[in-house]
Amino acid sequence: MRVIVPFAIMLFLLGVNPLKAEDTVSKSSLTPLIQLLENDEHRKKLIEKLKHEAEKEEPSEVSPVVQPVVEYVLDKIKETFQRFKNDSKITLMTLSDPYRLEKGWDLFLIYGGVLGLGFAFTFLIHFLKRFRALFVNDQTMTKTKAILVSLAFEGVTLLGFTVVTFTSLHWLSPSEKISASLSYLLVTIINFRIIQALLSTALYPHSRSFRLLPLKDGPAHILERYGRHFFTLQILSYILGSYLLNVGRLDTLVLFSARLFWLIIGYLTLALIKSLKNSITAALRLTLKYSKKRNVFEVMSQSLIRYWYPLSLAYVMFFVFLFTVVEESRFKFLLSLFLKLTVLGIGTYLLFLRIPSIMQMIVRSLGQTFNIPYSRQRFYEIALSVLFYTVLVFTFLYLLCKSLQIPLTALFSFLETEQILPKAISVIITALIGLVVLESLEFIINKVFRQLGKSSNQKNLPSLLTLIQHIIRVVIFILTLLMVFSELGFNITPLLASAGVFGLAVSLGSQTLFNDVIKGFFILTEDTINIGDRVTINLDHNKHSGVVEDLTLRNVKLRDTQGFLHTIPFSTIGAIVNESRHP
C-alpha cells in the first residue's frame, strides 16, 4: 500500500537536533569591565562586591552618587550570571526537541515562521528561474542539458545549505561542523527525492512528470518497486544523521525516538489528507459536473508537487539558521517574522510575475505612439525587465535581511555609506532620461519630416532624416556619458579639454569631409536637386550633365548620356542647373 506524505512531514523529517556546547562566555565576560577599572582601587573593590552580590542575587548598598551606574552594571552582571546559572551549557531550541516548548502557540508559530521562510526563499528561487528564462529557450534544451542544469541547481542549493549550516553553528569545533553539515546533506538528499516522489504518486499515481531519478519510468514505478524500503531508509538516515551530528555526545536512541514519534504523527496526518482530498474531489465532480477539465484542488495539488522540492530545500536551508539565532522572545519574533515574510514573499512574487507583461505593455504602447522599431522595442523590454528584476531582487534581499536580522544588512549599510547605491541609482536615472530624450526628439523629427513629405515632393528627405538622427544620437550619447561620469565622481573638465583638442585635430585633418557634409546638408534642405532630375553641375574647370541617380551626405551620383557614372563631392560643386524644373 502506498504511503501518502503529509504537508507537515518536513517539520520533523529534517528537524535540527538539540545541540549543546560547553560554556565559552561564562564569567570571563566580565574581564573587559574589570580591565577598564583596574587603575582605580576603589572601583576594583566595587566590582568584586558586585560580583559577590550578583552570585547571591541580593541588592547592593552603594553610594547614592554612583547608584545609577552601579544599578546598570549590577543588572548586566546579574543577567550574565543568571543566564548560565542553571545550565553551564548553551541549549539550542529545535522542533526535534518538542518537550522543551513552553507554550502551545509556540509550536504553531514555529511552523508558520519556518514555512514563511521557506516560501520566501522559494519565491527567490523562482525569480532566478524566471530571470534565466529571459535568455534561455527551454524548447532548445535537450534532455541531457536539462538534467545537468537540474543537478547543478541542486548542487548549488545544497552547497548553500552546507555553508549556512557550517557558519550558523558557530560554537562547534571545525570537525563537529563538518559532521553536522555532512549529516544534514545525507538526510536531505535521501528525504527530498523520496518525499517529492511520494507526494506526486499519492496525488497523481500515473504521473511521469515528477521523477525521483532521471529514469524512463516515473515515481509511481519507482515506489511500486522500492516503496517497501522507504521506512527502512528513513530509519537508517535518522540513525546515521543522529550519530554523525551529535558525535556521540547525545543519546542516539532518545533522539531517534523523538524523530520516530514525529514520523508516526506525520503518517497519521497523511491518512487524513488523503481522505480529505478524495472527499473534496468527489464533491467537486458532483457539483461542477466534472468532465475532463481539472478542478481547483487538482490544480493546487499539482502546483504543490511542482514547487515542493525547492520549497523543501529552502525550508531546511534556513531551519538551522533560524533556531541558532532565536534565543529569546520566540513567540513575538516568529509571529512578526511569519507576517513580514508572508507579505514580502507574496507581494514580491506577484510583482515578479507581472513585470514582463507590464514592461511589454508599456514599451509596446510607447512604441506605437512614438513609432519605435520592433527591434528596439524588444531591446527596451529586455533591458527594462532586467533592470526591474535586479532592483526587485535586491530590494527583496534587503528587506529579508532586515527582517531576519542577518549580517548581510552590513553590506547594504556599507554600500549606502560609500554612496555606491545612490550613485548607481543616479546613473540609472540619467541613462533613462537620456533614452527618453532621444526617443522624444526622434519622434518629433519623424513627425516633422512626415508632414514635410506630405506637403512637398522632396525625395531627399530620407537621407536628410538619417543625417539628423545620427547627429542627435551621437550628441545625446556623448552628453549622457559625460553626465554619468560626473555622477560617478569623475572630473569631466579634463575630458572636455581632451575632447576639444581631439575635435580640433580631427577638424583640421578632415576639412574637406566637413565641407562636403555641411554643403550637402544645405543643398538637401533647400531642395536644389532630387533623385531623377536632369541637371548640369558646374565644377571649377569643367562641368557634368546627366540624371541624378543617388544623393548621399557627401556627394551626388550623376549618370551622363554615354552611361558613365560620376561621383561628385558637394564641396567641389559650383553652380547647379536643374533642367527638370524649367517653366
**DSSP assignments along 278-292, one per residue:** HHHHHHHHHHTT-SS
Q: Is residue 554 part of a domain?
A: yes
Tens of pLDDT, residues 453-496: 666 656 666 767 777 777 788 888 888 888 887 877 777 777 66
Q: Is residue 391 part of a domain?
A: yes
Q: Is residue 163 part of a domain?
A: no
Same domain, 398 and 447: no
Same domain, 475 and 524: no
Question: 543-551 and 555-559: which strand pairing?
Answer: antiparallel
Mean pLDDT, all residues of the chain: 59
Question: pLDDT value at position 340?
Answer: 74
DSSP assignment of 88-127 equals: SEEE---TT-GGG---HHHHHHHHHHHHHHHHHHHHHHHH
Question: pLDDT value at position 475?
Answer: 83
3-state percent helix, strand, coil for the chain, nearest multiple of 5: 70, 5, 20
Same domain, 425 and 371: no
Question: pLDDT value at position 542?
Answer: 81
Residue 520 scores a pLDDT above 50: yes
Question: Average of pLDDT values for 6-21?
Answer: 33
Q: Considering 60, 88, 116, which residue would you say is the last residue of a domain?
A: 88
Separation of alpha carbons 415 and 501, rounded Å:
37
Same domain, 518 and 447: no
Separation of alpha carbons 512 and 504, rounded Å:
14
Separation of alpha carbons 210 and 190, rounded Å:
16
Same domain, 405 and 341: yes
Question: pLDDT value at position 567?
Answer: 86
Q: Is residue 352 part of a domain?
A: yes
CATH number, residue 558: 2.30.30.520
Same domain, 424 and 469: yes
Residue 450 backbone phi and psi in degrees, to 5: -65, -40
Kindly list the distances between the CA atom of residue 329 and the CA atoms of 19, 115, 273, in Å, as whole numbers in the listed order. 20, 19, 33
Separation of alpha carbons 206 and 225, rounded Å:
14
Most confident of 60-74, 176-190, 340-354, 547-561: 547-561
Question: pLDDT value at position 573?
Answer: 82
Give percent of the chain with pLDDT exceeding 90.
Answer: 0
Same domain, 461 and 428: yes
Question: pLDDT value at position 90?
Answer: 31
Domain tally for the chain?
Answer: 4
Q: Is residue 286 part of a domain?
A: no
Same domain, 452 and 489: yes
Q: Is residue 239 part of a domain?
A: no
Question: Average of pLDDT values for 202-222?
Answer: 43
Same domain, 568 and 526: yes
Same domain, 447 and 496: yes
Tens of pLDDT, residues 253-283: 544 554 555 445 444 444 455 555 555 565 5
Question: pLDDT value at position 152?
Answer: 57
Q: Considering 359, 391, 418, which residue would you say is the last residue of a domain?
A: 418
Work out the angle between the directed axes of helices 252-287 and 296-325 (0-180°, nearest 10).
150
Most confident of 128-132, 180-184, 227-231, 445-449: 445-449
Q: Is residue 429 part of a domain?
A: yes
Question: Average of pLDDT values for 345-362?
Answer: 74
Q: Which domain holds residue 48?
A: 23-88
Same domain, 408 and 435: no
Q: Is residue 249 part of a domain?
A: no
Q: Considering 31, 59, 88, which residue would you say is the last residue of a domain?
A: 88
Listed in sequence order, the DSSP H helices in 457-565 are 461-487, 493-509, 511-525
CATH number, residue 449: 1.10.287.1260
Tens of pLDDT, residues 386-407: 777 777 777 777 777 777 665 5
Q: Which residue has the higher pLDDT, 307 or 104?
A: 307
Q: How many residues would you count in the chain?
A: 583
* pLDDT grade for 1, boundaries at 50, 70 and 90: very low
* pLDDT grade for 192, boundaries at 50, 70 and 90: low
